Chain A
Amino acid sequence: NAGVTQTPKFRVLKTGQSMTLLCAQDMNHEYMYWYRQDPGMGLRLIHYSVGEGTTAKGEVPDGYNVSRLKKQNFLLGLESAAPSQTSVYFCASSSGQPQFFGPGTRLTVL
């Protein structure tokens, strides 16, 4: 089992560009989450999903959109990237608790 995978691992964007981060899990988990991690801020929840076709806002949702068309995939979109979105993005999945994290995507917005 691969667990939770994320693509891409690294990305550099210019302000205003758009991109989609892909998260995939092969553990048949119902719940999936997107976090961002910034120095000294811990892990902050962006959006989450409690099942296929459902999504909900987390703590810091502004500037991001998500979709969960298939149970195993959770996509995070940035429509118009801003320098404030420079961060490390982690996806996680669970069947309740605990959560299992992917390796992360390091995004830089210039």
Chain B
Amino acid sequence: GQQVMQIPQYQHVQEGEDFTTYCNSSTTLSNIQWYKQRPGGHPVFLIQLVKSGEVKKQKRLTFQFGEAKKNSSLHITATQTTDVGTYFCAGPYYNQGGKLIFGQGTELSVKP
């Protein structure tokens, strides 16, 4: 069945270091979405990428959608303690409306 894999599962960084999480789908996606979940919180939508090869930036966060629309990455430059949390990618199930399949998430911890 359709799968979305995310690596790494955990990442521990020193404040100021960069961080990247990767997302790979078993099928071509119409779009890819990224969510952030703070410890003890709920997932919050960050961004959606739609076009092949698309790159979007939100301050220190850079999101990329692969040319084949099967992979994506989130890169954080110069991490801060406020970046702590779990980052999920999600892609729509093929032809099933708003249903999403989520990656397992990457948990980021930042040491001050």
Do A and B come together as binding partners? yes
A residues lining the B interface (CB < 8 Å): 31, 33, 40-45, 48, 50, 58, 90, 92, 94-104
* Number of B residues with CB within 8 Å of any CB on chain A: 22
Contact of A40 among B35, B41, B88, B104 (CB under 8 A): B104
Write the chain B residue with the least CB distance to A90: B42
| Choice from A44, A98, A101 contacting B42 with Cβ under 8 Å | A101
CB pair A43–B98 under 8 Å, yes or no, is: no
Please report which residues of chain B, range 58-106, place their CB below 8 angstroms from some CB of chain A when the two chains form the complex: 88, 92, 97-105
Within the complex, what minimum Cβ distance (angstroms) separates A68 from chain B? 14
By a CB distance below 8 angstroms, the chain B residues around A42 are 6, 88, 102-105
CB-nearest residue of chain B to A93: B98
Rounded to whole Å, the gap between the CB of B99 and the closest CB of chain A is 6
Alpha-carbon gap, A43 to B99, bound state (A)? 12
B31 within 8 A of A: yes
Determine whether the beta carbon of A100 is less than 8 Å from that of B104: no
B103 A102 Cβ-Cβ under 8 A: no
* Residues 1-23 of B at the A interface (beta carbon under 8 Å): 6, 9
Instruction: Give 9 closest A-B pairs by Cβ, nearest first.
Output: A42-B104, A98-B45, A31-B98, A101-B42, A43-B102, A94-B98, A42-B102, A101-B43, A96-B98
Cβ of B48 under 8 Å from chain A: yes
Q: Do the beta carbons of B100 and A97 come within 8 Å of each other? A: yes
Query: Judging by beta carbons under 8 Å apart, are B42 and A99 in contact?
Result: no
